[in-house]
A and B are shown apart, each in its own frame.
Chain A
Amino acid sequence: MSTEFLVLILGYIFGFYMAWNIGANDVANSMASAVGAGAITIRQAIFIAGILNVVGAVFLGGHVTETIRKGIVSPEVLNDPHLTLIGALAALLAAAAWVSFATWKSLPVSTTHAIVGAMIGFGIMAGGVASVNWGKLGAVVGSWIISPLFSLVIAFATFKLIIRLVLSRAAALAAALRFSPLFVGAAMFVVVLSFVFKTPLGKQLALGLLPALAIAAAAAVVAGLLGRRLLVRLMSRNPLKEGAEGVFRYIQVGTSCYVALAQGANDVANAVGPLAVIYFLVKTGGIAGKVPVPIFLLLFGGVGIAAGIAMAGHRVMETIGRRITTLTNTRGFSVDFAAATTVLAASKMGLPVSTTHAAVGGVMGVGLARGLEAVDFGVIFRIILYWVLTVPAAALTSMIIYKLLMIFLPAG
């Protein structure tokens, strides 16, 4: 068996393992608020999240893969196909090892961070410290702080707005229905924009910023008005007489779906990015500045995520149902909307943002708006600590694995 073929097989195995991990651990980000608030059942959440992660990975994934691969490490180190092959595998193995360790120890690390750290390790080994694009890394590090902050502000503002416009009113249900076009429309606006900017299909349309905004605005108005009609009908039949929270329960099903979609699109790159490099190298024997990610690899990653959700999702969801009881539908909507918007904005800027961090920022925003009965802010410091640890740890592991692979898989 040739070295390339062996590397490719290992790439598939560990790529799938990374995808599985994303599914198993991060499914909470998209579905936690909906499950916690009782908007959907555990079974429904697993089903919806699984399907939408696959759809998101296949149709919306792709753009972020490149940033992680190329932005962090200078292209000069990629001149030698064999080195690149080993490096991509080392990065994948190192990230998988770190993520396994984190899962075992219940450390709040992000797969995104692990893969970025592993890439840096490979860059240092292949081309020396100078080959790492430190400026780019600075921007990425900045985004890890900015994305929770951005999400926090959006969630805070959204929840305050909901209090002001809906919850505090004497006739809260009527107010919720009256203002529902605003909330449905805003969510739709974000969805359409990300569709236009992030999907291959949307990119083919090659719309400028202004026409894209116009289309998104039009879709938002239509969705808002239709959404209200639907909500009025649903609420008139609502057997639970839930009031304003009930309106947001229906809206939240939509936003949760969107977060799951965005998660698939955003996180699949962590699993299949290095795999795509290996695949390209093995297939063509050469290395190019841009490596396409074939649809079937995205599907492979998406299925991996879905498998993780299907196998571990139940346990995660049960934990959520037990622990997150104060997250009502209005609060869940605020968190979802903030996380989705943050992920969209960050990936539009080409930054590898962590869905987890966006969701955590959203929870903090609602907490600051006095919306939650008890939130542990200490988690954010722990997250920052493990983020600081993740990058060098994954880098170091990646360097060691790279060295070992160079011994066992020599060129030629």
Chain B
Amino acid sequence: MRMPFVTMFLASPFDGLEEHAKKVKQCTGAFQEAFACHLSAKCVDFEEHRRYIHHLETEADAIKRRIRGHLPQGTLLPVDKFQLFLYLRQQDKVLDAVQHALDWLSYRDDPGIPPPLQPDFLRLAQAVVKTINELDRIVIGARDYFKGFQEQKRIEVKQIIRQVRQMEHEADQLEGAIKRRVFTMDLDAVTIYHMTRLAEIIGSIADHAENAGDMMRAMIAR
């Protein structure tokens, strides 16, 4: 068969982007569970959680490579290809941060997070996961906008991005509060370091969501 007309059409990167966003969401959800498990006294399957998250990350990585690999030179998209890649990179960095956080946690299983700090950390984890949950909505919304170019859709996406920025700010506040509290508590230096670093790493998850939002904002600019 020789159909130049048909061969022009490539697989849409938006399919992959959406799939990737959902995978990231699944991953952060699993992170939240793993984290909660780690805090509870009778956590036995933390390693299993970690393995599951690692598995999700491998899957997301495959999606990422698929998206990058299927946009040959000379591909025309409704958005700038580089911006798309930058967006994908930020969305992917969320996974790195999740994995980093779990690793950091595992480096010092015992004594782990001091009980007085645990509720604060749970709140922080909840706050960062909230930002990630908006990512697939951003992708779907943007895709919708490029279907019909309706200003209303564009406003909706911008609204979600603004919310993500706000959520990231809240997560930042929680992160700052934890660090401030760590330094006022009577803790040994190693624990202080472990805790401040952990707060920063978990906080960075939300940073990448915000960056991704900013990239999408640039892509849907008129």
Question: Does B77 lie within 8 Å of A374, measured CB to CB?
Answer: yes
Q: Which residues of B come within 8 Å of A, CB atoms?
A: 1-14, 70-79, 143, 146-152
Question: Does B72 lie within 8 Å of A167, measured CB to CB?
Answer: no
Instruction: List the A side residues contacting B12 at CB < 8 Å.
Output: 325-326, 373-374
Among listed A71-79, A289-297, A378-386, interface-contacting one? A378-386
Question: Does B76 lie within 8 Å of A375, measured CB to CB?
Answer: yes
Judged by a CB distance under 8 angstroms, whether A370 is at the interface is yes
Question: Does A376 lie within 8 Å of B8, measured CB to CB?
Answer: yes
Question: Does B71 lie within 8 Å of A374, measured CB to CB?
Answer: yes
Question: Does A374 lie within 8 Å of B10, measured CB to CB?
Answer: yes
A244 vs B3: C-alpha distance in the bound complex, in angstroms? Answer: 29
A320 vs B152: C-alpha distance in the bound complex, in angstroms? Answer: 32
Judged by a CB distance under 8 angstroms, whether A284 is at the interface is no
A312 vs B6: C-alpha distance in the bound complex, in angstroms? Answer: 15
Judged by a CB distance under 8 angstroms, whether A389 is at the interface is no
**Chain A residues with a Cβ closer than 8 Å to the other chain, count:** 50
With both beta carbons as reference points, the residue of chain B lying nearest to A362 in the complex is identified as B5
Instruction: List the B side residues contacting A364 at CB < 8 Å.
Output: 8, 76
Question: Does B2 lie within 8 Å of A103, measured CB to CB?
Answer: yes
With both beta carbons as reference points, the residue of chain A lying nearest to B79 in the complex is identified as A370
Instruction: List the B side residues contacting A25 at CB < 8 Å.
Output: 1-3
Q: List 8 A-B contacts (CB under 8 A).
A: A25-B1, A109-B2, A168-B150, A312-B1, A324-B6, A370-B146, A374-B13, A376-B7
Interface string of A143-176 (1 = CB under 8 A from B): 0000000000000000000010001111010000
Judged by a CB distance under 8 angstroms, whether A107 is at the interface is yes
Instruction: List the B side residues contacting A327 at CB < 8 Å.
Output: 9
Judged by a CB distance under 8 angstroms, whether A102 is at the interface is yes
Q: Which residues of A come within 8 Å of B, CB atoms?
A: 24-25, 28-29, 32, 102-103, 105-109, 163, 167-170, 172, 244, 312, 315-316, 319-320, 323-328, 356, 359-360, 363-364, 367-368, 370-379, 381-383
Question: Does A372 lie within 8 Å of B78, measured CB to CB?
Answer: yes
Question: Does A374 lie within 8 Å of B146, measured CB to CB?
Answer: no
Instruction: List the B side residues contacting A312 at CB < 8 Å.
Output: 1
Instruction: List the B side residues contacting A373 at CB < 8 Å.
Output: 12-14, 77-78, 143, 146
Question: Does A375 lie within 8 Å of B10, measured CB to CB?
Answer: yes
A390 to chain B, nearest CB (A): 11
B88 to chain A, nearest CB (A): 14
Question: Does B76 lie within 8 Å of A107, measured CB to CB?
Answer: no
Instruction: List the A side residues contacting B7 at CB < 8 Å.
Output: 108, 376, 379
A301 to chain B, nearest CB (A): 20
Contact with B149, one of A167, A316, A359 (Cβ below 8 angstroms)? A167
With both beta carbons as reference points, the residue of chain A lying nearest to B77 in the complex is identified as A374
A374 vs B70: C-alpha distance in the bound complex, in angstroms? Answer: 10
Known: A25-B1, A25-B2, A376-B8. 20 other contacts (CB 8 A): A32-B3, A108-B2, A108-B4, A109-B2, A167-B148, A170-B151, A170-B152, A319-B6, A320-B6, A324-B6, A363-B8, A364-B76, A371-B78, A373-B12, A373-B77, A373-B146, A376-B10, A378-B72, A378-B75, A379-B7
A172-B148, A373-B146, A376-B74 given; A356·B5 CB < 8 A: yes
A169 vs B77: C-alpha distance in the bound complex, in angstroms? Answer: 23
Instruction: List the B side residues contacting A24 at CB < 8 Å.
Output: 1
Question: Does A103 lie within 8 Å of B9, measured CB to CB?
Answer: no
